[in-house]
A and B are shown apart, each in its own frame.
Chain A
Amino acid sequence: MNNPDIISHTTGRSQYLDDIPVLKNTLYGVIFSSPSPHGKITDLDLSAALAVPGVRRIFTFEDIPGKNDIGGVISDETLFAVDEVHYRGQPVALVVAETEQTARKAVQLINIVISEMEPVTDPREAAAKGLFLIPSRTFRMGDVAAAWDACEHIFEGRADTGGQEHLYLETQGAYSYPSDKGCIRIHSSTQGPTLVQKIAARVLALPMNHVEVDVARLGGAFGGKEDQATFVAVMAALAASLLQMPVKITLSRGDDMRMTGKRHPYSADYRIGLTGDYRIMAYQVVMYQNGGAAADLSPAIMERTLFHSTNAYFIPNTEVTVHSCRTNLPPNTAFRGFGAPQGMFMIEAAIARAASELKIPARIIQQANFLKENDMFQYGQVAMDVNIGKCFTALNKEFEIDRIEKEIAEFNSRRTIYRKGMALMPVCFGVSFTNTSMNHARALVHIYQDGSIGISTGAVEMGQGVNTRLARVAAAAFSVAPARIRIETTNTTRVANTSPTAASTGADLNGNALLIAAGKLTGRLKEVASQLLNCAPADVSLQEEKVLVNGEQTELTWEKLVREAFLMRVALSETGHYATPVIYFDKTLEKGHPFIYHVYGTAVFTVLLDCLRGRYSIEKVLLVHDFGNSVNPDLDMGQVEGGIVQGIGWMTMEEVAFSKDGRMLTDSLSTYKVPDIYSAPAVIDCRALGTKGPKFALLSSKAIGEPPFMYGIGAFFALQNAIRAFNPAWTPDFDAPLTPEKVLMRLYDRNNQ
């Protein structure tokens, strides 16, 4: 079944936030943000900006009727700076004018005087100064200290990963207007409508029932609109509420890139110990998470880093610590993978380091340590239905890794200007919000009297295809044509208290809630049919818009059944509530069963490196992925391909650069490069591991949004191997991304000779 939006996407009729027809008298907001990374505001002069014809009002913290607090997890972030600024791009004021151009002009006339304070941009420096966002956390299993003695080989070193700009094609935006009796309506480009509602209510000093948030769809999000859509939405609501006029804010690309947080850069010191037969006995790592100036989602991201720090391996003795460091950068935030990619990169770096020292391919170590059934994760969950070994075996059978290695060795022995490299990248990703209390959702289903069906859930469609899954679930549950189903906008007045659409859980949580609601409705409709057809309800079934009794088709159609039910005064609306069973986590012990299931897969990357120019291309990504029972193969494959290419981007060309003093150097698409069609791998060949899938996954089809992203890490290590094939003198270091610059410098690095 196709995406229900697919035709309107190609004809341009799908409506995004900036496409909503504007009301008369709509005003436009542009944010004035701090030009300094750290300092005290000693003067803020708005007079010249206010004098620009067409400027209606300029809002600062002083205009906030409620609390100047937009912290989602921790109350450490203001909507507008008060007396200090903590990063360049921190909002200080909102100019509202008759046109966006006027507001932009006025913003340039705002005069701010800041008494500069020393900025910190490096997380290790922040840690040395004791600047932490939250207390550090450590996961432990076994006894690391004792385990080193049992290790034949011990290696230690440093690894770093860079930030990543989400670069959703649609920038952050919001459109807000006053509604009835002091209420406010917000159209927001958010993954978390309830969060926007809650924070807007807090800032405006309104009860939550006075704030309605509506989301039609997002033009990409990838986590960047989970927490960071909030400030834009709340500012629009504040201005709309105080002016009693419609107010729209659409961030320019530059403002979006400068003001919003990115994927967290991490820096780590690792120590890894192996036995003579390459079993990893001990792994110790300290990671410094660059959190930026406020907590945002850093605590939860840190947690997922801890959970995934051993990737798909069983390591009996571990000690993993993450420090969440406060720096003078925009608050870093959720991004596909949510801390897991950084944790996985570190263990893969440690393995690659060990392999290079031991002069063996890394995959020998990887293979020797794959997680097995009933192994214990370091967080106390017993691994069940472990498929990593099966994925690897299937991968080897399909693509013959030995053969690929031989071909590459043969190619490299020709000593042209090109070298090839390969790497294996296994992935094990836990599904559920790590914060157990967020794992619930609701659905509201209306069957209208003409037989059409409207479905509302808490899920936000952002391209990941949750609406496709929901529509499919509903069409199957009611056994009606897909054309009868409309997935409504996500709206806080229809479905309340929702978790953000994140953590790859959108389909599982909301789809299961929808199944519950649909089950109640079909039960009632069968009851009606049994009365009309004089049979037992258990004998009734619905099939392709027809009512069947004991498998025999009757005259009763879906439309007729619905109409009769309506006349018989039967309720044709229903809600469903779903909360993920089984899961729990005890943070005092750092042990529990946080994930309802895990997603597994293994990929092989091959790269071609032009050693003359330092340019490279990803030739092939061959993988076996555990989809469970893939219900929408096209959609699942789209997530695999999209995730892999985004992961490759993170590992290769995407480099978020800040100057020492916290100025963003890559704040445009001409300086921050994401993969284009020519940088996609020539081949992505993904085979499904045939499994029936876990029962708690929606229709046994496993969550797919995030896991494929982490395959992209393989690009880094494949490139490293190509560099080593050219320059054996080079000692590999682990500083992602591996840009063409870094590659060329390493190809001709003669320091070790």
Chain B
Amino acid sequence: MVTFILNDETISTGRPSGYSLLDFIRYDMGLTGTRTGCREGDCGACTVLVGTRKGDSVSYSSAVSCLMPLVNAHGRHIVTVEGINTGNISAVQRAIVDHSATQCGFCTPGIVMSLTAESLAARKTTPESAVASVSGNICRCTGYKSIEKAAAVIASALAGKPASDPVSWLVDRGELPAYFLSIAERLSLISPLPPEPAGVRGIAGGTDLMVQKADLLAETGTVTFLEREELKGITADSGRCVIGAAVTVSELGRSGLLKRHIPDLESYMQLIASEPVRNMATIGGNIVNASPIGDMSVMLLALNADATITDGRQERRVPLKNLFLAYKKLDIREGEYLKNITFPCSDDPPLFSFEKVSRRTHLDIASVNSAISLRINGDTIGECHLSAGGVSPVPLCLKKTASFLTGRQINAETLLQANEVIREEISPISDVRGSKEYKRLLLRQLFIAHFLKLFPRRLNLKIYEL
């Protein structure tokens, strides 16, 4: 039985573990403030808070309930809009009212919950972070300007928020119901789920499987990878950085260890999905999903990463570039799963750049993405790894181009010649993300963008002459 606290009530349900949290909330529990908009995590109308116990406190983040299998709610605190209503409206709700930041109202509870998650986050809230918190919420009515204004007011109302204990601070101010104070203790009383019998397929964040196979999961049930200790954490070990497969994209984006290797990490993460989806989606999921356009796969390819594959007893290490065999086909056998990703790390990391262009800059799948890591030896390029997505059936490691670049000087001629090598290595097709001609041109541009970004002074490149 999946057991969790829903608002102020501890719930146990016999529903299959793969049943969506959204359906449970709306149709089993009759909490209709959480709305169904798209069932693929792209509109945010079903956003809820997920509280995870960390010792004596609970940390909250936003999640899209449509993509959350019940099993991932076990032992957690799930909060819907009904669960934050105190009788008086909160500062978040007041700001929306004061700025007429709602028209039809259908998306509004989702926006309220995203902003409430931001209020509860154990960090300073700025106008920018408040806007970022609703970046996964589509509103088709307002044009967002009123929502931006409300977000700014909310940020200033949160100016005094202590990062140490935002929950008590908000409860003290009457912004959150008092029952939030006893949640940590109540969560500690929920026992972990017993191990499932072998043969049940596992799920991690669910942000892709729940889009593709929700009906099947709702019937058959699933087990979660999220709670396995060996899949968690980002550590440095004998010259390699180790990222557990169940690390979420949000955790990755906040990792100090990774930021040392990728200084612009946080801004790159803003280009991937949306806040609630990043809170749920895992690195492992993004890789084993095997999408030819996976953002994390492309970044990790350029970091020269290896995948650790295990069947629970025996482990093997596969260079990531060899993991992707064909379209949606991986070198992972029945009974095996991805344990972690490792890549070389040192005190002197190589330069790194990630580029992505999609139809909409945020919360969209790339038309083409690309990453590069390289070292410089004097005037020439040293060790170099280049990758691209959306230009072949798999996330592509551009090996020939990388070896072409090695030893050459950084100038326009090198880049244009390298682009000829790229053209040989890629095989884009025309689809809903763009025509093949566009993808070829776009990859050339992104390839140049890497260098313009990394060597703004060195490269005297007139792009309008290209």
Contact = CB atoms under 8 A, between A and B. Distances in A.
B326 interface: no
A535 interface: no
Interface string B4-35: 00000000000000000000001000101111
Interface residues of A, number: 83
Contacts of A8: 105
A582 interface: no
B103 A464 contact: yes
B147 interface: yes
A669 B35 contact: no
Query: Most B CB atoms within 10 A — which of A3, A21, A641, A739?
Result: A641
A665 B140 CA distance: 21
Nearest to B82: A12
Contacts of A741: 359, 367, 434-435, 438
A646 B449 CA distance: 31
Interface stretch (A152-160, A622-630, A671-679): A671-679
A622 to B, nearest CB: 13
A3 B112 contact: no
Given A12-B82, A16-B35, A219-B35, A678 B143 contact: no
A3 B98 CA distance: 11
Nearest to B33: A12
Say whether chain B's binding surface is mostly helix, strand, loop, or mixed. Answer: loop
A250 B36 CA distance: 10
B278 to A, nearest CB: 15
Given A105-B215, A741-B359, A11 B441 contact: no
Interface string A719-752: 0000000110000000000011100110010000
A666 B434 CA distance: 12
Interface in A632-686: 634-635, 637-638, 640-646, 653, 655, 657, 665-666, 668-671, 673-680, 684
B141 A220 contact: yes
Interface stretch (A40-48, A269-277, A601-609, A612-620): A612-620
Contact of B361 (A612, A679, A744): A679
Interface string A213-236: 000011111100000000000000
B248 interface: no
Contact of B437 (A680, A726, A745): A745
A104 interface: yes
Describe A's contact surface by its main secondary structure. loop
Interface string B114-157: 00000000000000000100110111111111111000000000
A250 B38 CA distance: 12
B97 A10 contact: yes
A463 B103 contact: yes
Contacts of A666: 432
Contacts of A2: 97, 100
Contacts of B39: 252-253
Contacts of A16: 32, 35, 106
Given A7-B97, A19-B32, A463-B103, A726 B464 contact: yes
A676 B97 contact: no
Interface in A197-252: 217-222, 250, 252
A168 B106 CA distance: 9
Interface in A12-26: 12-16, 18-19, 21
B144 A10 contact: no
Interface in B338-364: 355, 357-364
Contact of A169 (B33, B138, B148): B138
A684 B361 CA distance: 20
B143 A644 contact: yes
A170 interface: yes
A395 interface: no
Nearest to B86: A11
B450 to A, nearest CB: 11
A463 B35 CA distance: 16
Interface stretch (B40-48, B181-189, B195-203): B40-48
Interface string B197-217: 000000000000001000100
B104 A217 contact: yes
Contacts of B112: 10, 12
A11 B89 contact: yes
Nearest to B442: A744
Contacts of A637: 100, 146
Given A5-B105, A217-B104, A253-B37, A680 B143 contact: yes
A665 B434 CA distance: 12
A668 B37 CA distance: 11
Contacts of B81: 11-12
Nearest to B42: A669
A101 B15 CA distance: 14
B245 interface: no
Contacts of A18: 26, 32, 35-36
A643 B145 CA distance: 12
B93 interface: yes
A5 B100 CA distance: 11
Contacts of B437: 745
Nearest to B274: A676
A668 B38 contact: yes
A421 to B, nearest CB: 15
Given A641-B142, A680-B144, A744-B438, A634 B100 contact: yes
Output the residue of A6, A12, A637, A741 with the most chain B CB within 10 A: A12
Contacts of B218: 101
A204 B108 CA distance: 37
A645 B142 CA distance: 8
Interface string B29-73: 010111111111011010000000000000000000000000000
Contacts of B138: 167, 169, 669, 674, 676
A417 B148 contact: no
A637 B434 CA distance: 36
Contacts of B304: none
Given A10-B109, A613-B449, A614-B357, A642 B367 contact: no
Contacts of B434: 741
B223 interface: no
A70 to B, nearest CB: 25
Contact of A673 (B38, B82, B100, B364): B364
Contact of A676 (B85, B363, B438, B445): B363
Interface in A157-176: 166-171
A29 to B, nearest CB: 16
A3 B100 contact: yes
A465 interface: yes
Interface in B436-457: 437-438, 441-442, 445-446, 448-449, 452
Contacts of A104: 215
B145 A684 contact: yes
Contacts of A668: 38, 40, 42
A678 B441 contact: no
A415 interface: yes
A6 B94 CA distance: 10
B265 interface: no
A587 interface: no
B102 interface: yes
Contacts of A484: none
B159 interface: no
A645 B441 contact: no
**Pairs of residues from A and B, 6 with the lowest C-beta to C-beta distance, nearest first:** A12-B33, A463-B104, A219-B106, A9-B105, A645-B143, A669-B42
Given A9-B108, A674-B140, 10 more contacts: A2-B97, A170-B37, A218-B104, A463-B106, A634-B100, A646-B143, A676-B135, A677-B139, A740-B357, A748-B441
12 contacts: A9-B108, A16-B106, A21-B30, A219-B107, A253-B37, A463-B103, A634-B100, A638-B100, A668-B42, A671-B432, A677-B131, A677-B137
Interface of A: 2-3, 5-16, 18-19, 21, 101, 104-105, 166-171, 217-222, 250, 252-253, 415, 417, 462-465, 611-615, 634-635, 637-638, 640-646, 653, 655, 657, 665-666, 668-671, 673-680, 684, 726-727, 739-741, 744-745, 748
